[in-house]
């Protein structure tokens, strides 16, 4: 499946793309993913065709995304909208109290260190506990993260993803990140297209649907998205077709 049934690419599309599970297949650990040269070339071509209106929308930290996609430096929202680099290269960070997050990080980190197979990812404001390598620990891991969430109290929330539990500041998500980009050039006035695979992407699908855009869910599972692609390979093929379509018709 490579986008059959999806709307014809349009010259005014702005592309918002999740990374893990969308552009790249999920790996055993977050560190294990690689971005190949073809993917870099595809994103650069699509960004050029869209007049610069392409952004990555990820749960990863912006620095992590930059390291993955280097030498590309794309507009990007990291940590589920807590940090964002706009198309002009300016970085926006939403401020949150650090000390309670550090306490929660120590607590979850200690639990992960004591349980082989768990991978703790401290992104600064987002704390992620991955149990892909130890699914039998899901219940226990959830109890620990829920405990840390309760201690952090209001202002933070527990977010479930694929084999991952994340503690994140409330009020920011992938949807607010897309809204912020859409208020700025070169995104403003375009039709938003958002492609994502996980529960956290539903915030983005909601925003894009309200804007009359194109929401695309990758893989199985319930979703507010209006269209669907099977996997990361299908996403790559479809984005390739979008880039080629624009190339044929001119920008």
DSSP one-letter code for 137: G
Find the part of the chain contacting Mg ion (CB under 5 A) among 36-44, 46-54, 176-184, 190-198. Answer: 190-198
Nearest-CA neighbor of 201 among 234, 240, 228, 236?
228
Cβ of 102: how many Cβ atoms within 10 Å?
13
Find the part of the chain contacting Mg ion (CB under 5 A) among 6-14, 17-25, 80-88, 203-211. Answer: 17-25
Count of residues engaged in binding Mg ion, rule: CB under 5 A: 5
Q: How far is the CB of 160 from Mg ion (least distance, A)?
A: 13
198 makes contact with Mg ion (CB under 5 A): yes
| Binding characters for Mg ion, 78-117, by CB under 5 A (x = yes) | ----------------------------------------
114: which 2 tokens?
Answer: 């004591």
* Residue 18 or 179 with smaller CB distance to Mg ion: 18
20 is catalytic: no
Nearest-CA neighbor of 204 among 63, 67, 26, 14?
14
Q: Which of 21, 30, 175, 204 binds Mg ion (CB under 5 A)?
A: 21
Q: How far is the CB of 110 from Mg ion (least distance, A)?
A: 27
Find the part of the chain contacting Mg ion (CB under 5 A) among 11-19, 102-110, 124-132, 150-158. Answer: 11-19
Cβ atoms of 238 and 22 closer than 8 Å: no
Nearest-CA neighbor of 237 among 71, 46, 47?
46
Q: How far is the CB of 161 from Mg ion (least distance, A)?
A: 7
Instruction: Please tell me the distance from the alpha carbon of residue 197 to that of residue 225, in angstroms, as a whole number.
Output: 10
Cβ atoms of 216 and 227 closer than 8 Å: yes
Q: How far is the CB of 81 from Mg ion (least distance, A)?
A: 14
* Residue 9 or 30 with smaller CB distance to Mg ion: 30
Count of alpha carbons within 13 angstroms of residue 87, beta-carbon side: 21
* Residue 31 or 151 with smaller CB distance to Mg ion: 31
Residue reference for tokens 């920011």: 172
Nearest-CA neighbor of 190 among 246, 131, 121?
246
- Residues engaged in binding Mg ion (CB under 5 A): 18, 20-21, 197-198
């Amino acid at each position: 499946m490579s986008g059959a049934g999806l709307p014809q690419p349009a010259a005014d599309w702005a592309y918002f793309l999740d990374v893990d599970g969308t552009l790249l297949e999920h790996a055993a650990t977050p560190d294990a993913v690689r971005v190949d040269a073809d993917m870099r070339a595809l994103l650069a071509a699509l960004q050029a065709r869209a007049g610069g209106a392409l952004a990555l929308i990820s749960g990863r930290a912006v620095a992590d995304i930059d390291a993955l996609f280097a030498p590309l430096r794309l507009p990007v929202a990291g940590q589920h909208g807590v940090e964002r680099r706009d198309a002009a290269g300016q970085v926006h960070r939403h401020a949150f109290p650090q000390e309670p997050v550090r306490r929660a990080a120590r607590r979850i980190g200690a639990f992960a260190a004591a349980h082989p197979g768990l991978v703790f990812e401290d992104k600064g404001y987002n704390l992620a506990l991955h149990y892909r390598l130890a699914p039998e620990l899901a219940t226990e891991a959830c109890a620990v993260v829920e405990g840390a969430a309760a201690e952090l109290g209001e202002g933070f929330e527990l977010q479930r993803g694929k084999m991952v539990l994340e503690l994140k500041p409330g009020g920011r998500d992938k949807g607010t990140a897309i809204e912020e980009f859409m208020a700025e050039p070169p995104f403003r006035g375009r039709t938003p297209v958002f492609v994502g695979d996980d529960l956290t992407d539903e915030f983005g699908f909601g925003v894009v649907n309200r804007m009359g855009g194109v929401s695309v869910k990758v893989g199985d599972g319930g979703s507010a998205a209006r269209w669907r692609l099977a996997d990361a390979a299908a996403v790559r093929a479809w984005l390739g077709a979008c880039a080629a379509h624009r190339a044929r018709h001119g920008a």
